[in-house]
Structure 1
């Protein structure tokens, strides 16, 4: 009797060490070994189920790990990495090459295989709407089918399995990812979350053997995350395609994941294997560090580890983090950002009196009737005053980013809608000088995925922060001495996060580095900020630079649209503390983990940046509770697009980042 055949693995790596450049090449930049003596196998069989989840901080090499799985980066020895399953008759001929059989979908702004597969070079955000051309701005349907070439003969033909996608596959993927109502919209009009779902859909329609999803849940609203996870589970269970996912330490782990890879901060594997075995090993490590029996490894910081372990189910996020049952010694690191001072509410800076935004007769924002002071009005009615701290919430596609584009006057319909900014209408008024686009831009600090996409990668780190004083992304900033001092203060304060060569860059944001500001005086060398380009930074560092660009000038309105997405949790907490308190507060380590304390800069009376003022307004958008600043109290939740339900408004009695009850109320969970 013949023994059952054993299916070869899709990916096999046996004691492989990887490099970005050949180790014998003469290169000017460092070329460290990546993932030394790595062993990894991705089975082709589905029984038993093997679903991998790669976890690590922004500097740990998650993206690099996924890239090497599809054949990128040099492997030493070359024979240590192979793709046996792709050479079998079970794989179509078009998928015999790893780059075709193994698809990567990333969601940062540099993803070349992104939504429109284009390099954005516009000078300002309104070009997103002004550049609409039927011949070049294709619809989502065309994007999914690959019909994005101006030469029709070069485009894949729908219905051809070898060159395109059969219609039944399109219908299934569109239904599963809830993209049906969006098929006839230009891709440039999709929200950030809708664009993410579209990228996943396009990758699925290529029918690859393996799909690598780099932080797929980041930026999606809680209901969408809860719905996407079971869909991915179904695909992985049928190996259609096999999935490998990556995530940050603070992200929940889908309940169907079976195996984990936890990465250190130096592109090496800290632990790998079955999920429960890896989690228990990490738990023992944290417990040993806390008990003093183990020394903490700077490349494997406890502060990140204690937040690992929550479970993502179809009902939402459940369970406890890795060490919650141990008394959660470091809970203050991510929750206690200092008590907010009493606020002084001033005059309105944004007034919307019944706004409706529509494309081709389809209302995308304000498709409801709202009752205000006993009067019913169609569209969004909303006022933001100085001193108020607003959170804007709602499902992907509900219009959150559209609201921001109206506030910033990037949206052309701003001029025809009943909107007042800083007490003035957008159209000229008799006897009053007009409020120009440049006037508005100068008074608003804005960080968002759209800003991230447009920011030129060739600017230096300093130039990105200084861009707060520039008219466009590429124009020269106009700074006085006070402005230069603010820029220097921000660069010094966040040197560990922004400087790739910083000796503590690998552990930026950890509790152990909480008082690093005590070593950064006014004379600190900041030449690195002129040397390193924005495109050379990690995603987390890029988001920090854009966050500083939004707040450094002290604008009348600070708009943070998913500004903290992509940051590690420790870095995020330092940014949110800086937003409210500037250089006056810091994280200080103590026996219980970390607490907010007066900074050394404040004790020396050398504070240059003091955080939000009473005459500033804050507008924050996020789907992650921990990314909401503690000072946010007022909130607006937009309904599902075209649902007919009105926007809901409320005031939280406690910081939303800690108030689970208010958070669930907002999302109706």
Structure 2
């Protein structure tokens, strides 16, 4: 009888500890150990099925975990991390190194990989295709994104049948001739996944692949990923937030603590059972809550994503409602003073070359049928705009913010005035800079264009600047607002933040904010970048706050803190019940009358997309 030797794993980590910098290096910034004594394996075989899902709250190290699988970050000892399968004859020569064989796909809005193609302004995505560097989706998928690129070797040439299959499965066929700048956020995510698949890697690391996608797209993407994983073509490792549903084909889970350490790891059901027991012990008072493993992040975990949608109850079932005591929306039914319009759209229809992208409908406006988008936003109103990927939400945002070139020719009034001179009015139209100074805006487009070299403090102060790189014009009250925001959100913004042994409220955190001058925006985890941009949008208390997917990528806890701050500013804070659940209470600043940053006022309007 002939016995076949077991194939070695693709990735093998045996008792390894990781660091961002060498532990003996002198640095003014903390350098804590990451994932101490980690043991983790990605097998090369398909039997038994082993499909990993890395779950954790914001700033828990999900991205770091995926990156270290691909060879990033310093491993101690160095030989604790290895890639034995890549040295076998089963792997093509071009994939013998981890840098080639293991592809990471994140969705942190860093653009489409070529340094010459990133536009310098938001309106570029809506202009006609003029520059040679405005490559199409087809070029992006084929890798034709460099000027004077070298001809690929025969080994690197793309398999046409693979291209056809990937484009069809990811529903990109109708988009191939569009410039990548024209793609919606959801379409762009699918394009990045497609590009990674076309390199035929051994392992594909997908960092929150379902984030920001509408339910139909998610339901269609999950089976595609399952098909790839089941054939090990390529092997997949996915990450997600605790509140995200778990695909039904996932077999193994890693749940991370809030300090880049493993809380529990193993087969899916065993991990869920252990987390459920932990929450029950805390709620029953038989166990003290671990500050690095917050209960409120766990109770919404455990729903299942199937081809027919999301099913099942969260980890704690009906008991999960206990976490709703800390809902950030406190005054949903409160009466507000509704003022004059800040945005008026009276039949807007956006079209490109005869194809209507927004406004291909008729609305009832004061008893009359009117073509196009009819919409008025007044001071004091709070709007929510919903729709699937590609439905035009981002286009509406561009009209409000006057980034879209067609704003000048459409029936739009911003702050009571048109973008073009009105005969007989005696008023000059508002300039682009006038409009921008009165709008607080956070969106994936802002995220993409925000310079990664700015410090955390500079990103927030940028609310008072004319452009992304110009110097902010701050007075003393503005500086106090920035300090207040850095203090309130230190736990969400400071990568080296160490949670105290005893729970404290946001207002009791250290007044020393020097860390915000040392960390660059590009060094922050994705969730922290979103928090910084959220604060940039609201801190100046503009006439209208426009939040386009502003909380995307945040876990429930961080999102709730942002919404609480949006509504109440420093006036409210979180406190904990004895069982670990949170409640909202008046802050010390509110009681002392020292609030520097308040919530949305009746003078302001807001729109969330």
Q: Which TM class, normalised by the smaller chain length?
A: over 0.9
> Are the aligned partners of 2:487 and 2:506 in contact in 1 as well (CA < 8 Å)?
no
TM-score by length of structure 1 reads 0.85
**Matched residue, 2:571:** 584
Structure 1, unaligned runs of 5 or more: 622-669
> Are the aligned partners of 2:17 and 2:75 in contact in 1 as well (CA < 8 Å)?
yes
Shift of residue 78, structure 1, vs aligned partner: 2.9
Change (3 A) 1:336 1:135: closer
Q: Structure 1: how far apart are the matches of 2:379 and 2:26?
A: 56
> Are the aligned partners of 1:583 and 1:609 in contact in 2 as well (CA < 8 Å)?
yes
Shift of residue 120, structure 1, vs aligned partner: 8.2
Shift of residue 497, structure 1, vs aligned partner: 2.2
Q: Structure 2: how far apart are the matches of 1:515 and 1:68?
A: 33
Q: Secondary structure of 2:322's partner?
A: coil
- Deviates most, 415-424 or 137-146: 415-424
**Matched residue, 2:99:** 99
**Matched residue, 2:130:** 133
- Deviates most, 183-192 or 487-496: 487-496
Shift of residue 517, structure 1, vs aligned partner: 1.5
Q: Structure 2: how far apart are the matches of 1:225 and 1:127?
A: 28
**Matched residue, 2:601:** 613
- The yes-or-no answer on 1:547 pairing with 2:534 is yes
- Deviates most, 136-145 or 306-315: 306-315
> Are the aligned partners of 2:328 and 2:563 in contact in 1 as well (CA < 8 Å)?
no
Q: Structure 2: how far apart are the matches of 1:462 and 1:31?
A: 21
Q: Structure 1: how far apart are the matches of 2:60 and 2:89?
A: 37
TM-score by length of structure 2 reads 0.94
Change (3 A) 1:577 1:26: closer
**Matched residue, 2:54:** 54
> Are the aligned partners of 2:329 and 2:567 in contact in 1 as well (CA < 8 Å)?
no
Q: Structure 2: how far apart are the matches of 1:177 and 1:208?
A: 17
- Deviates most, 118-127 or 342-351: 118-127
> Are the aligned partners of 1:146 and 1:156 in contact in 2 as well (CA < 8 Å)?
no
- Deviates most, 31-40 or 446-455: 31-40
- Deviates most, 5-14 or 333-342: 333-342
Which residue, out of 506, 517, 542, partners 2:507?
A: 517
Change (3 A) 1:98 1:411: same
Per-residue Cα deviation, 1:25-59 (whole angstroms, up to 9, x for no partner): 44554333322222111122212211100111232
Per-residue Cα deviation, 1:410-455 (whole angstroms, up to 9, x for no partner): 1111111121111221112231122110110011100111111211
Q: Structure 2: how far apart are the matches of 1:471 and 1:77?
A: 48
- The yes-or-no answer on 1:322 pairing with 2:315 is yes
Change (3 A) 1:604 1:84: same
Q: Secondary structure of 1:12's partner?
A: strand
Shift of residue 225, structure 1, vs aligned partner: 1.2
- The yes-or-no answer on 1:390 pairing with 2:383 is yes
Structure 1 residues 428-577: aligned runs within 5 Å: 428-430=421-423, 431-504=426-499, 513=503, 515-518=505-508, 524-577=511-564
**Matched residue, 2:87:** 87
Q: Secondary structure of 2:448's partner?
A: helix
> Are the aligned partners of 1:146 and 1:164 in contact in 2 as well (CA < 8 Å)?
no
Per-residue Cα deviation, 1:226-269 (whole angstroms, up to 9, x for no partner): 21111111111111111100111221111110000111222221
Shift of residue 540, structure 1, vs aligned partner: 1.9
Q: Structure 1: how far apart are the matches of 2:436 and 2:329?
A: 33
Q: Structure 2: how far apart are the matches of 1:533 and 1:150?
A: 30
Q: Structure 2: how far apart are the matches of 1:164 and 1:428?
A: 55
> Are the aligned partners of 2:299 and 2:320 in contact in 1 as well (CA < 8 Å)?
no
> Are the aligned partners of 2:248 and 2:306 in contact in 1 as well (CA < 8 Å)?
yes
Structure 1 residues 141-540: aligned runs within 5 Å: 141-151=138-148, 154=150, 156=152, 162-326=155-319, 328-334=321-327, 337-430=330-423, 431-504=426-499, 513=503, 515-518=505-508, 524-540=511-527
Change (3 A) 1:325 1:44: same
Q: Structure 1: how far apart are the matches of 2:472 and 2:117?
A: 21
Structure 1 residues 36-75: aligned runs within 5 Å: 36-75=36-75
- Deviates most, 526-535 or 418-427: 526-535
> Are the aligned partners of 1:121 and 1:456 in contact in 2 as well (CA < 8 Å)?
no
Q: Secondary structure of 1:612's partner?
A: coil
Q: Secondary structure of 1:271's partner?
A: strand
> Are the aligned partners of 1:518 and 1:601 in contact in 2 as well (CA < 8 Å)?
no
Per-residue Cα deviation, 1:355-400 (whole angstroms, up to 9, x for no partner): 2222343322223344434544332222222222111111111111
Count of residue pairs brought into register by the alignment: 606
> Are the aligned partners of 2:328 and 2:561 in contact in 1 as well (CA < 8 Å)?
no
Change (3 A) 1:327 1:104: closer
Q: Secondary structure of 2:385's partner?
A: strand
Shift of residue 277, structure 1, vs aligned partner: 0.4
Change (3 A) 1:36 1:572: same
Q: Structure 1: how far apart are the matches of 2:585 and 2:145?
A: 54
> Are the aligned partners of 2:58 and 2:527 in contact in 1 as well (CA < 8 Å)?
yes
**Matched residue, 1:641:** none
Shift of residue 185, structure 1, vs aligned partner: 0.9
Shift of residue 555, structure 1, vs aligned partner: 1.0
Q: Structure 2: how far apart are the matches of 1:21 and 1:604?
A: 43
Root-mean-square deviation over aligned CA pairs: 2.4
> Are the aligned partners of 1:120 and 1:454 in contact in 2 as well (CA < 8 Å)?
no
- Deviates most, 367-376 or 390-399: 367-376
Change (3 A) 1:348 1:25: closer
> Are the aligned partners of 1:514 and 1:586 in contact in 2 as well (CA < 8 Å)?
no
Shift of residue 325, structure 1, vs aligned partner: 4.3
**Matched residue, 1:651:** none
Q: Structure 1: how far apart are the matches of 2:380 and 2:56?
A: 37
**Matched residue, 2:76:** 76
Change (3 A) 1:335 1:235: farther
Q: Secondary structure of 1:126's partner?
A: helix
Q: Secondary structure of 1:393's partner?
A: coil
Structure 2, unaligned runs of 5 or more: none
Change (3 A) 1:584 1:76: closer
Q: Structure 2: how far apart are the matches of 1:38 and 1:528?
A: 29
